[in-house]
Structure 1
């Protein structure tokens, strides 16, 4: 497991590449999905087209998300939204997705979520040259992603058989994400009147250091 972020408070973000790491992340996913009433057992597997990041606090995993890279097999969202995603592919977009998103509400969830999102952005934009991020979200979470991260809804909700719950397909362009990081990154929650989750992202200077670190370890 590669530590991407660590600090004096024992908060760490790691890229998971071991069975033990995937198991710990899977336990958190199943715990939080069950708490929300989602169906199914969710297990992370070793897949070259998926990258799992975890946030831990004093050794306990408090957040996780998985990046899904496009391939001939597609991405998970193709299961119910292939027609919508194919329209982007046909226009030359290099697509990816964020999935298996789970955060322990008892932990430092906002900071963890922002850090994981930003590191995911660095991976898909700077390492894999993706142009668009897709995410499937429950209707009750849709407005957060739209208002705070700039995602846009594509079409109507459909039933997601993986969790037996409705889901919207949302998309954001990485050019837009980059602009928001340059404008808001590192400013904190009270820095601007405008509400933006990008305030909790790393600053542009910190981002440059992270990009170099990740590229040197890839």
Structure 2
């Protein structure tokens, strides 16, 4: 199942700070500009933030006023496959052969001036998760990450390494294939979402996700 990319304002009544939305096509240029700038700062190359005519991509973005300060793209399976197929095709084929329903998160970028980037990252991931798992029915999330970020994704979100580093020619940098069982993410969000407000120290990103009441409100908006 794929989801609509209509814009939804999710945060004004829920939290103070940047608003999180499912982006419309008019927002894509802001998302691409942010991705291109942040990638360039790290020495990566960046092609256009592509979408398919079949609606296989949903872009989730964070806005401070009119400025895009965070973005992540959710890509569903389609005839074109996933971006990660270009580098990790055999591994993804094996996952599919095992009956896994795949989706992909990509084009993640946060503005360097965001004051609470951990909370913003968590909320973007939560919205992307809602599209992928709760609305799209996908079970396994795949991402390509730079080797130096592997420890973060493993520790903070529970990702597992599914293939070691190879050159990703789309960004001209090494990439590691990582996967996350979205049923595990669902359990962690249910147990920990919203608990960061309690002030307890944590080495997980899940406490910074929305709490259960907020998630219900967001899903209701997404389903409108």
Q: TM-score, normalised by structure 1?
A: 0.92
1:201 maps to what in 2? 209
- The verdict on how the C-alpha distance between 1:10 and 1:192 changes in structure 2, with shifts beyond 3 A counting, is closer
Paired residue for 1:163, among 147, 171, 182?
171
Contact 1:95 1:133 in 2 (8 A): yes
1:32 counterpart = 2:38: yes
1:143 counterpart = 2:156: no
The Cα RMSD (Å) is: 1.6
Deviations 1:124-161 (A, max 9, x none): 11111000000000011111100000000012111000
Deviations 1:89-138 (A, max 9, x none): 11111100000111112114222211110011011111110000000000
2:88 maps to what in 1? 81
1:4 maps to what in 2? 9
Distance 2:168 2:44 in 1: 10
Distance 1:77 1:174 in 2: 18
How far apart are 1:194 and its partner, in Å? 4.3
Distance 2:9 2:166 in 1: 35
SS of 1:2 mapped into structure 2: coil
Distance 1:154 1:11 in 2: 33
Contact 2:8 2:221 in 1 (8 A): no
Distance 2:104 2:143 in 1: 6
* Structure 2 gaps, min length 5: 1-5
- The verdict on how the C-alpha distance between 1:136 and 1:190 changes in structure 2, with shifts beyond 3 A counting, is farther
**Aligned pairs, how many?**
214
2:48 maps to what in 1? 43
